Structure 1
């Protein structure tokens, strides 16, 4: 079975995706930590960060930058009969054009759903895409996940945050620890704005002035509404989130210029 066949037929692996710019990647160290940490959870073996950096650098040569780069970790011909003791995984680097896919302001529909193993960015994305499809069919831009006990967690491929005019509040329910949200909260702290983590439920949303969603490909996107709760599209908050994002330096893949 080839690498692509393994990825197509065996739904077991982890990945990270990142925009690669000519000068490097914001949060590159966090992406490498994620790949290593998640691989240890899934396979019992880590991933060599230096090798990942070198492979990404080689893969983007000749591509227009910034580009969307995905690194997927997997075991070729995964031996199901000894899945309890897997060999060291390999990884595949894929380069695509960077095409943001969010509207200027998103409308979300709440839905009862929780991802499997939320602390790991894994390839088991069937449920995410299905919930995204259902939300789109209902006329929304995306779905907002609410756990069985009523706690707000995240969107399909984004973290969410809320703003009451003075503080940023993030949901406490289990969710993927997104790298863009980490970059934003680090940047906000540099701008003197801290964040709090609350157990948030749908009735709490009317207490917030604004809301936003984040991932590394689309950055921070304002949320216009969740169900029938509408939020202000606050230009000052958008500017603050953009400044927080840009305050994170680009980390070079290797010494020297990446080219275009």
Structure 2
């Protein structure tokens, strides 16, 4: 019996679980501890059981053997006995690991469209992504590259698969609204403080976006990427911000996959 195939079929058919996406480089992983903490925290919310970080480390290390680094590793947690008839007495979760090549950053700053939308249980990186991807599709059909989510009251929350940040020329501002606490965002905040750039969280409304000098998106795989436009608000290229974000990124050391 091919257990890995059975596991993939369970993940696909039940679609109840959570995941994290990890960029693995030859030298290690940025934010590995945070990824492992996320998997354990989300597993307790979704399944009522935690996930052992040492097991995840070893399984990821096994999965990347034979692959040319860097790679994009997705670790998906699922319970084998989960079904619509049983979502209470769940077994401790196991994981499925997929390994893919890293995609290059876009050559031009993406243009994003705002949309009133809230992810269910936004603090968990869960596998319920249909509505999220449909929002991206609708934005792309309208001629944009991606989508930025806004609460019904106009507060900006997050992007499709990324957090959003704004720059006023002296500090970085992150929206204070329900959103996934992204690994890259957390690392950038630490890195910005290391390189002497202030940052803060506060409510940002869609009507505020024209008052900022620049905007960017942050994602653990792609890293920070400057945004070219949100709706009809266009941002000029900002090499100073791009340099600051790269400095912040490099200020956080990589962690070895295995101790």
Q: Same fold (TM over 0.5)?
A: yes
Does 1:117 find its partner at 2:109?
no
**Distance apart, 1:103 and its partner CA:** 4.5
**Distance apart, 1:101 and its partner CA:** 5.4
- Note closer, same or farther for the CA distance 1:142–1:149 as it changes in structure 2 (3 Å cut): same
Output one character per residue of 1:133-175: Cα deviation in whole Å (capped at 9) or x when no partner.
1111111010110111211001100100001111111101101
Are the counterparts in 2 of residues 100 and 217 from structure 1 also a CA contact under 8 Å? no
Q: Is the partner of 1:212 in helix, strand or coil?
A: strand
Does 1:194 find its partner at 2:189?
no
Does 1:58 find its partner at 2:62?
yes
Does 1:146 find its partner at 2:150?
yes
**Distance apart, 1:253 and its partner CA:** 1.1
Inter-partner Cα distance in structure 2 for 1:82 and 1:133: 33
Inter-partner Cα distance in structure 2 for 1:42 and 1:108: 31
Output one character per residue of 1:203-246: Cα deviation in whole Å (capped at 9) or x when no partner.
11111000000101111111111011111221011011011011
Output one character per residue of 1:48-86: Cα deviation in whole Å (capped at 9) or x when no partner.
000000111111111000011010000124143331221
Inter-partner Cα distance in structure 2 for 1:59 and 1:143: 32
User: Which of the pair has the greater relative contact order for Cα pairs under 8 Å at 6+ separation?
Assistant: 1
**Distance apart, 1:95 and its partner CA:** 0.8
Q: Alpha carbon RMSD of aligned pairs, Å?
A: 1.2
Unmatched tracts of structure 2, length 5 or more: none
Higher mean displacement: 156-165 or 228-237: 228-237
Consecutive aligned runs of 4 or more in structure 1 exceeding 3 Å deviation? 100-103
TM-score by length of 1: 0.95
Q: Is the partner of 2:236 in helix, strand or coil?
A: coil
Unmatched tracts of structure 1, length 5 or more: 256-260
TM-score by length of 2: 0.95
Equivalent position of 1:229 in the other structure:
233
Q: 1:212 aligns with which of 206, 216, 219?
A: 216
